[in-house]
Structure 1
Amino acid sequence: MPPFHVRHLHLVRHGQSTWNVEGRLQGQTAHPELTDLGRAQAQSAADLLAERVTGTVAVVSSDLVRARQTADVIARTLGVRVVDDPDLREQSVGDLEGLLTSALEATPDTDDGRHVSEVKWGGGESLEDVHRRLAAPIARALTASHDHVVWVTHGITACVALARLAGRSHRDVEWDPIVNGAVVSTSLSRP
């Protein structure tokens, strides 16, 4: 059997944004920026990664402002450049984006046989769409020439990515909250 090269993937949820504070659904809305706390969370994540990362590293970020601002802090601390990857964006929730979460009303279960993870909320993406979208960046991480790959992404996207990395479907995502600025590390191996 050929030897395996182990790569480490570190998923970082962006720091607190202005819309996190306001309680708004962000989805793929590009402009919400980090708060002062969000910048501090980004620096804490960067400091933690500086302790964990040995060898070569790539920092890959969602191109949405809150993620990119977090990635810039991490990349500066690690001494590398950021590569933007729109595949790491948050789930689009269409016309629900910008609404206060407190103003949302529960909707009835789908009666057409679809699983809740297959519903395109607000006309955006379903979790199934996000799961499918993450195949490409996972493949790129597996073939990266770096020992460590840092993804700066979003809460839902990170949860879906962890499910996909564990071989689970879009219907079997674990919803343990990933707080702003958190770092979740895992190992990837391939022959």
Structure 2
Amino acid sequence: MRVVPAVRAGVLRTMMSATGTTETLVTTLADILPPLAPNAQRLYLLRHGQTDWNAEGRAQGGGFDIELNQVGRRQAEIVADELDGIPLDVIASSHLKRSRQTADIVHSLHHSDAKRVVMRGFGEMRFGEFEGYAIRGPLCTPERKAYYLGVAATLRESADTKWPGGGESTRDVETRGRLALQQLLNDTQAQHIAIVAHGRFNKIMLSSLLYQDSTKHQDITQGNTCVNVLDFEGDECTSQLLNYVDHVES
């Protein structure tokens, strides 16, 4: 077995060479993604790193501004290394700390020449009265879990149903998210754009862009610092990667 030295951070992948020998290679996204078409734009949609509320299973929407914890900061450094070699022109984030901090780490480590943008349209969904409450894990009561699942089921049925207590609907998030994305794509005319956003926001945007049905967002998974890669060419949107988390899991 020949091991290629880890000259940069990345993911170890074992592959079979043409001669039949096994090789362990250090690869990043730049090594595995196909070339971008000349007239296309490539979007790298990330979720922020972990917060204490993530770890505790609390609903963390747009109404609370929670910072990254130590694990989340390390995750941000790892995903920054994973994006090394990608010629990012723009790094955008929402206005919330967990998103901004993750994007700032990506920007500072390998892409300090990229334009840094903050847009409120990329903020997390507001979950109304559920924000701050545990909805999974040991801190979640059976009663709260049942209530949460019941409300979540109504959101699956209708994109216009809002979370009780002043929350947003799926359509609210879809509308502001697509407007912000279109503005960013049009204003920058950049080829390689990273957006660091949020779990539910990403799910809604992905289901809207790829399936034309934002109510399907509950079928999508988004881990902390996952990377989704979408190519935009004309009116077409093509997914290259969804919920890519090899860098975190390895």
**Band of TM-score, shorter chain:** 0.7 to 0.9
In 1, the alpha carbon distance for the partners of 2:216 and 2:65 equals 31
Match of 2:39 in 1: 5
The answer to whether the aligner puts 1:173 opposite 2:246 as a matched pair is no
Q: 2:132 aligns with which of 98, 108, 131?
A: 98
Residue of structure 1 equivalent to 2:230 = 186
Letter of the aligned partner of 2:176 in structure 1? R
Are the counterparts in 1 of residues 49 and 98 from structure 2 also a CA contact under 8 Å? Answer: yes
Residue 67 of structure 1 aligns with an amino acid whose one-letter code is S
Aligned to 2:63: 29
Superposition deviation, residue 29 in structure 1: 3.1
* Deviations 1:118-155 (CA, angstroms, capped at 9, x unpaired): 32113300112111111212212432321111110001
CA distance in 1, matches of 2:73, 2:63: 19
Q: Distance in 1 between matches of 2:218 and 2:56?
A: 25
Shift of 1:173: 2.7
The Cα offsets for residues 39-74 of structure 1, whole Å up to 9 and x where unpaired, read as 1111111111123x22x5101101111111101101
Identity among equivalent pairs (%): 30
Q: State the superposition RMSD in angstroms.
A: 2.4
Relative to the length of structure 1, the TM-score reads 0.86
1:12-48 per-position Cα deviation (integer Å, ceiling 9, x unaligned): 1000011112221110134311111101111111111
Which stretch of structure 1 is more off in the superposition, 39-48 or 77-86?
77-86
Gaps of 5+ in 2: 1-36, 236-250
- Give the Cα–Cα distance (whole angstroms) in 1 for the partners of residues 74 and 182 of structure 2: 31
Letter aligned with residue 125 of structure 1:
E
Counterparts of 1:29 and 1:188, CA distance in 2 = 31
Tell me if structure 1 keeps the 8 A contact 2:129–2:167: yes
The structure with the larger Rg is 2
Select which of 174, 178, 187 maps to 1:135: 178
**How many pairs were matched up?**
185
Residue 99 (structure 2) pairs with residue 67 (structure 1): yes
Contact residue 6 and residue 187 of structure 1 kept, 8 A: yes
Give SS of 1:149's match: strand
CA distance in 1, matches of 2:162, 2:146: 15
Structure 1 position 100, deviation (Å): 1.4
| Letter in structure 2 aligned against 1:178 | Q
**Which residue type is aligned with residue 157 of structure 2?**
H
1:112-123 equivalent positions in 2, closer than 5 A: 115-122=157-164, 123=166
Q: Where do 4+ consecutive residues of structure 1 move more than 3 Å?
A: 107-110
Q: CA deviation at 1:116?
A: 4.5
Deviation at 1:75, TM superposition (A): 1.1
1:45 and 2:79 aligned? yes
CA distance in 1, matches of 2:230, 2:66: 28
Structure-1 separation of matches of 2:220 and 2:151: 22
Q: Which residue of 1 aligns with 2:11?
A: none
Once the two structures are TM-superposed, the CA of residue 85 in structure 1 deviates from its matched residue by: 0.7
Could you say which structure has the greater relative contact order, defined with CA pairs below 8 angstroms and 6 or more residues apart? 1
- Gapped runs of 5+ residues in structure 1? none
Q: TM-score, normalised by structure 2?
A: 0.67
1:105-126 alpha-carbon deviations (Å, 9 max, x no partner): 424579x9x9244321133001
